């Protein structure tokens, strides 16, 4: 497919399209968790340009060149957004979530487990039993939902490493790793069956040991490759900025001094769009892999500041590599996600972006509750499993802001999840973002919608660093641009995020608070939400730790540079 992008205008015509290939492995009745992105490979020549934005934006984000004769205006980049050489595009790693079909879900919408000796299968058992013991040579099918023969166990924190190894040996296990996690106040280990015994047998015996506090499978979080069809006409590199009213918001704040932890695949910190934005790196995998397209794109949606513009271009990123290890894609696990959340909470993150989805996972639910209790803002992709999917996690956790994806026409992304746990929507279709090695990508998915909202949250925290998470969520909900049926709904939540309305709806650190943004486009009358899987109803908490809820701020002026 070929497309030209010209400065300040909508894109031209597509010459050809690539057919969509859906890798929904429903025939296997499996449940696999993965980062929420769907990406493709255009061949595009991109001249230097600036996003097309309506008049009245911040002078900081754009300057105007009136030509040699002072004629018509031609937008061009400011020094901060100076042009960089045209880079070739790359091949991407898109992701779909192959959820189980309706007959294979329990009353709560969870995929039914199957005891097949592989660590917590999914889907109903077949008529014939898979291998039932050491003496049975019948091969057991691998279960993509979990890591075969692995457990995540909370163990007695008083045990030394030698004693933990002895505990494992008593049950025919090998301790792969273990550590104390201050976030949840527990010592958690990763254990693997070493003697070939059936999974269920080992699980029962290990769980009964007095030194084991809790036990669960090591769930798999996975990225998958998938090409998708050509996009609709329009310049996908710029519409998200106008939809979110980011240029207007950037006249006031840019996310400075706010730290966002990105739990994802590897990020290319050397990319021109991300220069000086990566404040810290943590490889939860302990790997030596290079940067990955998904993590680099997520970071770009938040802090890009070269040719592109992220939602919080001056925020600081803690780059946490939790996904990796497979050809063309990336995967993670319960234990690695726990390590990642613990690192974010222990190293000063104020916001955590989680652009992945999966099954309900007890140890991750516990970690998220503990992270929220520390006052961190948690944002997650709603999921790319479509209308028939059960709730996906961590987005469906009530402590998390779940974000669905919209396109340039404000329509819901076809693959986006629905549900009463959806809090907000944001652009996520045909998004133009950085990719490793100085390249760029065109991509779609709720992953990037979540990243945009994480950046908007950073703008609010720069505006008022004392803002509490519930007040921040309330502000995003009350100032959202209502889409779909009046009030909140299961497609868009409270509506599409509006950065400018949200920023002007709260006080700056030294100003009086406000009750709501003037001229908000949110329609009232949305129905309340049920308790589980994710209550989004927000009472009227104080906007800051000072509990000050008085008058409208009169200090809305461009931030000092």
Choose the catalytic residue: 29, 118, 235, 264: 264
The CATH code of the domain that includes 151 is 3.30.70.60
527 found inside a domain = no
**Is 292 annotated in the active site?**
no
124 found inside a domain = no
Same domain, 350 and 202: no
291 found inside a domain = yes
Same domain, 206 and 250: no
Same domain, 468 and 385: yes
549 found inside a domain = no
What distances in angstroms separate CA 508 from CA 280, 350, 374, 393, 462, one per listed residue?
27, 17, 22, 33, 8
Same domain, 214 and 271: no
Q: What letters, b where the CB count within 10 A reaches 16 and e where it falls short, cover 280-301?
A: bebbbbeeeeebbbbbbbbbbb
**Is 264 annotated in the active site?**
yes
Per-residue model confidence as pLDDT tens for the chain (561 residues):
433 333 333 433 333 333 333 333 333 333 444 566 655 444 333 444 344 333 333 333 333 333 333 333 333 333 333 333 333 333 333 444 444 444 444 444 444 443 333 343 333 333 333 333 333 433 344 566 788 899 999 999 999 999 999 999 999 999 999 999 999 999 999 999 999 999 999 999 999 999 999 999 999 875 533 333 333 334 445 799 999 999 999 999 999 999 999 999 999 999 999 999 999 999 999 888 889 999 999 999 999 999 999 999 999 999 999 998 755 567 899 999 999 999 999 999 999 999 998 889 999 999 999 999 999 999 999 999 888 988 999 999 999 999 999 999 999 999 999 999 999 999 999 999 999 999 999 989 999 999 999 999 999 999 999 999 999 999 999 999 999 989 999 999 999 999 999 999 998 875 543 333 333 344 344 344 333 443 333 333 444 443 333 332 333 333 332
Same domain, 278 and 199: no
Same domain, 214 and 343: no
Number of domains making up the chain: 2
387 found inside a domain = yes
Same domain, 160 and 295: no
Strand order in the sheet with 316-321: 278-283, 316-321, 259-264, 351-354, 377-381, 401-406, 422-427
557 found inside a domain = no
HSE toward the beta carbon, residue 432, CA cutoff 13 A? 29
Is the CB of residue 543 less than 8 Å from the CB of residue 470? no
Same domain, 487 and 359: yes
Same domain, 165 and 299: no
- What six digits make up the tokens of 355? 């652009």
Q: What is the rounded CA–CA span in Å between residue 177 and residue 163?
A: 13
**Is 447 annotated in the active site?**
yes
Same domain, 158 and 287: no
Choose the catalytic residue: 292, 294, 305, 481: 294
Beta bridge partners of 80: none
Neighbours of 547 (CB within 10 A): 10
Choose the catalytic residue: 93, 447, 449, 553: 447
Domain that holds residue 394: 239-505
Helices (H), 103-177: 161-170
The CATH code of the domain that includes 301 is 3.40.50.200
DSSP 276: T
433 found inside a domain = yes
- Taking phi over 0 as left and psi of -120 to 50 as alpha, with beta for the rest, 172 belongs to left
| Own/partner pairs, 155-159, CB within 8 angstroms, 24+ separation | 155/187, 155/188, 155/189, 155/211, 155/212, 155/213, 156/187, 156/210, 156/211, 156/212, 156/213, 157/186, 157/187, 159/187, 159/211
Same domain, 168 and 303: no
Same domain, 210 and 259: no
484 found inside a domain = yes
């Amino acid at each position: 497919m070929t497309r030209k992008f010209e400065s300040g205008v909508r894109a031209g015509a597509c010459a050809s399209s690539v057919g969509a290939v859906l890798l929904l492995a429903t025939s296997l009745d499996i449940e696999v968790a993965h980062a929420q992105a769907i990406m493709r490979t255009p061949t595009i020549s991109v001249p230097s340009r600036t996003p097309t934005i309506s008049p009245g934006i911040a002078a900081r984000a754009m300057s105007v060149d009136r030509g040699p004769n002072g004629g018509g205006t031609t937008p061009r980049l400011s020094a901060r957004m100076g042009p960089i050489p045209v880079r070739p595009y790359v091949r991407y790693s898109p992701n779909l979530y192959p959820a189980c079909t309706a007959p294979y879900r329990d009353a709560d919408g969870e995929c039914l487990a199957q005891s097949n000796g592989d660590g917590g299968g999914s889907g109903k058992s077949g008529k014939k039993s898979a291998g039932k013991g050491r003496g049975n040579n019948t091969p057991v099918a691998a279960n993509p939902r979990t890591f075969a023969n692995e457990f995540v166990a909370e163990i007695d924190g008083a045990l030394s490493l030698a004693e933990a190894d002895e505990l494992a040996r008593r049950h025919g296990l090998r301790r792969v790793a273990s550590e104390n996690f201050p976030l949840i106040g527990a010592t958690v280990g990763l254990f693997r069956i070493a003697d070939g015994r059936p999974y269920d047998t080992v699980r029962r015996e290990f769980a009964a040991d007095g030194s084991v506090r809790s036990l669960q499978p090591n769930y798999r979080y996975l990225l998958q490759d998938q090409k998708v069809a050509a996009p609709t006409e329009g310049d996908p590199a710029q519409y998200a900025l106008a939809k979110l009213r980011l240029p207007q918001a950037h006249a006031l704040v840019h996310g400075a001094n706010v730290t966002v932890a990105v739990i994802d695949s590897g990020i290319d910190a050397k990319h021109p769009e991300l220069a000086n934005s990566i404040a810290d790196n943590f490889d939860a995998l302990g790997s030596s892999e290079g940067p990955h397209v998904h993590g680099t794109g997520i970071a770009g949606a938040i802090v890009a500041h070269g040719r592109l513009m992220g939602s919080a271009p001056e925020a600081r990123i803690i780059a946490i590599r939790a996904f990796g290890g497979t050809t063309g894609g990336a995967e993670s696990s319960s234990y690695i996600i726990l390590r990642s959340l613990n690192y974010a909470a222990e190293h000063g993150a104020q916001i955590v972006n989680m652009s992945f989805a999966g099954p309900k996972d007890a140890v991750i639910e516990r970690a998220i509750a503990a992270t929220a209790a520390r006052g961190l803002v948690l944002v997650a992709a709603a999921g790319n499993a479509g209308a028939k999917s059960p709730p996906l996690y961590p987005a469906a956790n009530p402590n998390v802001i779940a974000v669905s994806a919209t396109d340039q026409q404000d329509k819901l992304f076809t693959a986006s999840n629905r549900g009463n746990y959806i809090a907000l929507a944001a652009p996520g279709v045909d998004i133009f973002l950085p990719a490793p090695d100085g390249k760029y990508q065109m991509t779609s998915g709720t992953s990037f919608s979540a990243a945009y909202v994480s950046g908007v949250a950073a703008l609010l925290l720069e505006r008022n660093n004392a803002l509490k998470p519930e007040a921040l969520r309330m502000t995003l909900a009350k100032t959202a641009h209502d889409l779909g049926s009046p009030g909140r709904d299961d497609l868009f939540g409270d509506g599409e995020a509006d950065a400018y309305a949200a920023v002007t709806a709260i006080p700056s650190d030294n100003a009086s608070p406000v009750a709501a943004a003037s001229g908000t486009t949110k329609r009232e009358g949305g129905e309340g939400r049920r308790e589980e899987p994710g209550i989004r109803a927000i009472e009227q908490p104080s906007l800051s730790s000072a509990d000050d809820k008085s008058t409208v701020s009169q200090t809305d002026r461009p931030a000092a540079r």
